[in-house]
Amino acid sequence: MASTADIKNGVVLNIDGQLWSVVEFQHVKPGKGGAFVRTKMKSIMTGKVVDRTYNAGAKIDIENVDRQDFTYLYNDGEGFVFMNTDDYDQITVPATIVGDAANYLLENQQVTLATNNGNPLYVELPASVVLEITYTEPGLQGDRSSAGTKPATLETGHEIQVPLFVENNTKVKVDTRTGDYLGRVS
């Protein structure tokens, strides 16, 4: 068991069987009364963010989370298969854990996989990826009814909004956190 003095950004706490990552913390020493620690935590499984306050010196349960580099190999129908780049071990991660990251995954792509006691928790992609547009309607000159954007299908099958000048077979940079178009890549 650890105490509140061990709380830092990025530390993962086990609270009632749920894993929570500390996003922000602040040690507060008011002029009157005991010190306490104010935290903002994000649920690893759901992404929900909550604020929680602990009295100084309270016991907390810190979990060990391993973050390693993996290479995405393929989707076998039951889950996504990743290979550890250090020892070449393969691990199958269920689609529920991969989540929205599947929209931007290509074979042989490098990702960071977080595990706790050998169980995968989440897949972390680079901030942006380069993908090819497989289909988009031609943009009509003068059509500004949709603020100059149109839907386009990526090679992963995911659909994003792109400017009217983007054509089929164009490589584009996409923000993996928001799904926004960032620009063309030559």
Domain ranges of the chain: 2-63, 66-124, 128-185
Q: Other CB atoms closer than 10 Å to residue 76's CB: what's the count?
A: 9
pLDDT of residue 113: 92
Rounded distance between C-alpha atoms, residue 62 and residue 145, angstroms:
52
Please give the CATH number for the structural domain made up of 2-63.
2.30.30.30
Q: Which sign, positive or negative, has the C-alpha torsion 168, 174, 180, 184?
A: negative
pLDDT of residue 146: 55
Tens of each residue's pLDDT in the chain, 186 residues: 788 889 998 889 999 888 998 989 999 999 888 999 999 998 887 878 999 999 999 999 999 888 899 999 999 988 999 999 899 999 999 988 888 889 999 999 999 998 888 888 888 899 999 999 999 988 766 656 556 788 999 999 999 999 888 889 999 999 998 899 999 997
Q: Where are the alpha helices (DSSP H) in 10-169?
A: 95-98
Same fold for the pair 2-63 and 128-185? no
Phi, psi of 116 (to 5 degrees): -130, 115
Q: Which residue has the tokens 């990025």?
A: 10
Q: 128-185: what CATH class?
A: mainly beta
- According to CATH, the superfamily of the domain at 66-124 is Nucleic acid-binding proteins (2.40.50.140)
Structure tokens, 83: 């290979």
pLDDT of residue 147: 67
